[in-house]
């Protein structure tokens, strides 16, 4: 399969694992780790003339998307802004392949990532609850209204961090040898994390947590009851919390339901919210103008100011808060199909897994793979708000479960 190895594997594993805590402190160090790792992996691949990890369909498709995006950038209104986001975007895929390679070489990296996630999740739980009840966290960051942000400070993305990495944590928990006390600890941590994501006030993060959890509970075999019980306890806690905080209840439940017309209100029904509805309609107008190739990566923030596209009360921001709409506006149908094909793969694979469960056949995926697939599902889910598709921090967080999943799939195939 592959015939080259890094020296000092433990050091490489530790450096790679450090991306988990660095994601808390901002985009610079995670992006540095990804960029350096990608360069080293490309160098060693070229040096050893081994392109196994780059020869598989997922990477080839992703590389094609990156090349097309870069070419589209050359026709963008602001070429400099657009090309900076697309030219080196391929490093995200290379980093996923690098994680895949490291797991192939040394399974201890699974343990490293597991404990890094446990450490970071535990720190955020302790600090987040302190901030919620006291008003200030351990390093002096004040709570933002009703929204807990912990070490993220003014960046209200704590819920996003927890919800996006939670499936990876659960996956690594499933494959680790566990003591009884550790199972109880993890169960308690799961409950606290579920509730903390709700306390963050991030509606999309809370939705993704619920989506991935239901997906996992339906499709796994072992620890199914374990996760179901912890989830039910967390939902009960969320219900009690919402009864005691009208502000949280309005933000997380009542407001969105009214905006989308799910409950009666004097408001006109909109997509997600008035602001999001405005952004989505503006992006769609941009897509209709250049449907095949779009206006160029990161061009929404520039072109949304044009009156012929702008619609609604908030037509212009840095991105339209939905990956699919953003890709339609910035990369056209070509870019859209890249992401949509990933969504089709996830749904198709999940249905095959569900079929094998219903008909009591051999399961297509292990429980570990199901959790990793859940992590990919919340990346490609089309019916929700999310961040900027070309945001480095966000895509680094998304790329992590991909590397683990690809390793599990292709190592299985290689043994057949």
pLDDT in tens, the chain (416 residues): 455 555 556 767 777 898 999 899 888 899 999 999 999 999 999 999 989 999 999 999 999 999 999 999 999 999 999 999 999 999 999 999 999 999 999 899 999 999 999 999 999 999 999 999 999 999 999 999 999 999 999 999 999 999 999 999 999 999 998 889 999 999 999 999 999 999 999 999 999 999 999 999 999 999 999 999 999 999 999 999 999 989 899 999 988 877 766 676 656 778 888 889 999 999 999 999 999 999 999 999 999 999 999 998 889 999 999 999 999 999 999 999 999 999 999 999 999 999 999 999 999 999 999 999 999 999 999 999 999 999 989 889 988 999 999 999 998 654 43
CA-based torsion, 381, 386, 391, 395: positive or negative: negative
Q: DSSP letters of 315-332? A: --SSS-S-HHHHHHHHHH
Structural domain includes residue 319: yes
As for how many domains the chain has, the answer is 1
- On whether the CB atoms of residues 329 and 294 are closer than 8 A, the answer is yes
Query: What is the domain extent for residue 222?
Result: 9-268+306-414
Give 239's contacts (C-beta < 8 A, 6+ positions apart). Answer: none
3-state secondary structure of 335: helix
Structural domain includes residue 242: yes
Proportion of the chain in helix, strand, coil states, percent, rounded to 5: 70, 0, 30
Structural domain includes residue 56: yes
- On whether the CB atoms of residues 273 and 258 are closer than 8 A, the answer is no
The Cβ of residue 110 has, within 10 Å, a number of other Cβ atoms equal to: 19
Residues in the chain: 416
Structural domain includes residue 99: yes
DSSP 253: I
Structural domain includes residue 276: no
CB-count exposure of residue 223 (10 Å: 0-12, 13-18, 19+): buried
Structural domain includes residue 278: no
Structural domain includes residue 286: no
387/279 Cα distance (integer angstroms)? 13
* Residue with the two structure tokens 């302190």: 130
- On whether the CB atoms of residues 22 and 392 are closer than 8 A, the answer is no
Structural domain includes residue 277: no
28/31 Cα distance (integer angstroms)? 5
């Amino acid at each position: 399969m592959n015939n080259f190895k890094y020296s000092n594997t433990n050091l490489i594993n530790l450096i790679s694992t450090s991306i988990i805590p660095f994601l808390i402190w901002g985009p610079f160090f995670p992006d540095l780790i990804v960029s350096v790792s990608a360069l080293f992996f490309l160098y060693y691949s070229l040096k050893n003339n081994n392109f196994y990890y780059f020869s598989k369909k997922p990477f080839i498709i992703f590389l094609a998307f990156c090349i097309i995006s870069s070419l589209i950038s050359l026709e963008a209104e602001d070429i400099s802004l657009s090309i900076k986001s697309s030219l080196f975007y391929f490093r995200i895929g290379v980093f996923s392949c690098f994680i895949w390679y490291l797991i192939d070489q040394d399974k201890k990296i699974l343990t490293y990532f597991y404990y890094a996630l446990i450490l970071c999740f535990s720190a955020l739980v302790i600090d987040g609850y302190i901030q919620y009840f006291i008003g200030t966290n351990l390093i002096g960051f004040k709570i933002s209204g009703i929204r807990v942000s912990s070490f993220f400070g003014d960046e209200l993305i704590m819920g996003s961090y927890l919800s996006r990495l939670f499936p990876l944590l659960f996956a690594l928990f499933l494959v680790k040898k566990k003591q009884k006390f550790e199972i109880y600890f993890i169960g308690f941590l799961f409950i606290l994390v579920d509730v903390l994501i709700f306390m963050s006030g991030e509606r999309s993060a809370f939705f993704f947590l619920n989506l991935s959890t239901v997906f996992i509970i339906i499709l796994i075999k072992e620890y199914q009851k374990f996760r179901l019980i912890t989830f039910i306890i967390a939902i009960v806690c969320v219900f009690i919390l919402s009864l005691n905080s009208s502000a949280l209840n309005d933000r997380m439940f009542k407001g969105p339901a009214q905006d989308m017309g799910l409950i009666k209100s004097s408001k006109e029904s909109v997509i997600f919210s008035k602001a999001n509805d405005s952004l989505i309609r503006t992006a769609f107008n941009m897509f209709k103008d250049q449907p095949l190739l779009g206006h160029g990566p990161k061009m929404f923030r520039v072109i949304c100011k044009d009156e012929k596209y702008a619609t609604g009360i908030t037509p212009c921001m840095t991105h339209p808060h939905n990956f699919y709409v953003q890709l339609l506006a910035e990369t056209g149908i070509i870019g859209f199909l890249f992401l949509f094909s990933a969504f089709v793969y996830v749904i198709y694979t999940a249905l095959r897994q569900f079929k094998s469960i219903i008909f009591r056949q051999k399961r297509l995926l292990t429980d570990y793979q199901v959790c990793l697939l859940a992590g990919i599902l919340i990346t490609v889910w089309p019916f929700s708000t999310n961040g900027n598709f070309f945001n480095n921090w966000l895509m680094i967080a998304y790329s992590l479960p991909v590397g683990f999943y690809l390793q599990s799939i292709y190592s299985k195939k290689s043994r057949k």
